[in-house]
Amino acid sequence: MRVLVTSSRNTFALDLIRKLGSTGHTVFASDTYAGAIGNHSRYLAGHFVTSSPRFNTDEFIEDLVNIVEEHRIDVIIPTFEEAFYLAARGHELPDGTSVFTGGFEQLARLHDKASFKRLAIEAGVPVPETIVANSPEELQAAIDQYPRYFARAAFSRGGVGLLTNTGPLAGKMSVDDAVPTPDQPWLVQPFVDGPMICTYSIVVDGRVTAHCTYRAPEQWAHSTGISFLAIDSAETLDYTQKLVDALDSSYTGQLSFDFVDNDGGLFAIECNPRPTSGVILLEAEEVSQAIAGTNPEPFVVAPGVERQVKLAVLADAFAEPIRHLPKSLHDLLHVRDVGAGWHDELAMLWSPATIVHGAQLSHGERTELLAALGADIVWNGEPIDGMLPEDRAALEAVHEQRV
């Protein structure tokens, strides 16, 4: 199989490149800047710089069409929110090339947090009580209802832009900085106590073919995981299959869910219809077979498997209080690094280029670094230039059905 992995700046994109490249596939990578870590893996047959899907959608699609035609790509695997642009404009790709993601309507229903709440209820998956705020006044009224609250934009990702008065992120964002609108609403929920549980799944024709449930014992700025520990998957695998069944029995692609473990009861919080760091915990052959859909039963990562992004753990150790140092040192010495055994060290040495790229995208503004790092590849619920009329209608329906 000849594969193009897009948005190769992500650690999990690099992991996919390595795993597919090591199992006999011919892998290419692309991103909007040359320094993306995945573009420098030894497991690549080639790498490319494309236009931004968000800011230059027409040019982005044209770039991919040229890559597909020149290198006879069989499947494109998006690893971030360029998936939405590919789903909306995938009909322009050459015949015989598929995109390993869902249809646009499916992705929109999953990504919009208000719509996802409705889907979860339909699937019988527990969710917290939720209020949708369409204005600053509605947001203030909603948070006034809860002594402890948790709020975020309907279109958000990666722990960016969280408004809460409880936990380590309390006060990090002011209510005045959140400006909900009918097109960009915010969701407000009572703060649910308990650790965050994350999942990653590969789905083919409506069937989960690989699944992982994990926690992030180490986080950068209390939001983005930099170490990952697999835990029991029995309940989350059941919930994931129920969500897929409720969404569309033909769904194919990658799905990632966040849950809160509230004293043994799981509450679904959000969905990222794309890969996340859980893929790092799967074995290479498992990923290859799961994407092909050839395994009769899903591959499930056993509890206790652990990986870390060693460079990030080291950097985080210098940012944390000194009392945190023993834990960081233990992890550095005993937890397997995501790059261990790949003999592909050059790729991660390009990590600073991603920071520079994020700084350039922020144009010197006081923007959260995590937000800036993906600013040119995100989708925030707006219509996409060149999308089909039926997809535009589906997007409008998702917006109208918010509750």
Domains of the chain listed by start with CATH number: 129-191 (3.30.1490)
List, as one string, the DSSP characters of 60-117.
HHHHHHHHHHHHT-SEEEE-STHHHHHHHHGGGSPTT-EESS--HHHHHHHHSHHHHH
Reading the block at residue 14, the tokens are 């690099």
Reading the block at residue 154, the tokens are 């309907």
CA 334 to CA 313: how far, in whole Å? 12
Reading the block at residue 395, the tokens are 């997007």
Cβ pair 205, 298 in contact under 8 A: no
**Local structure of residue 135 (DSSP, 8 states):** S
Burial class (CB in 10 A: 0-12, 13-18, 19+), 121: middle
CA 85 to CA 385: how far, in whole Å? 9
- Per-residue pLDDT 10s for the chain (403 aa) are 999 999 999 889 999 999 999 999 999 999 999 999 999 999 999 999 999 999 999 999 999 999 999 999 999 999 999 999 999 999 999 999 999 999 999 999 999 999 999 999 999 999 999 999 999 999 999 999 999 999 999 988 766 678 999 988 898 889 999 999 988 899 999 999 999 999 999 999 999 999 999 998 665 544 455 688 999 999 999 999 999 999 999 999 999 999 999 998 999 999 999 999 999 999 999 999 999 999 999 999 999 999 876 444 334 333 344 444 454 444 433 445 566 667 787 787 767 776 777 667 766 554 555 566 788 999 999 999 999 999 999 999 998 876 5
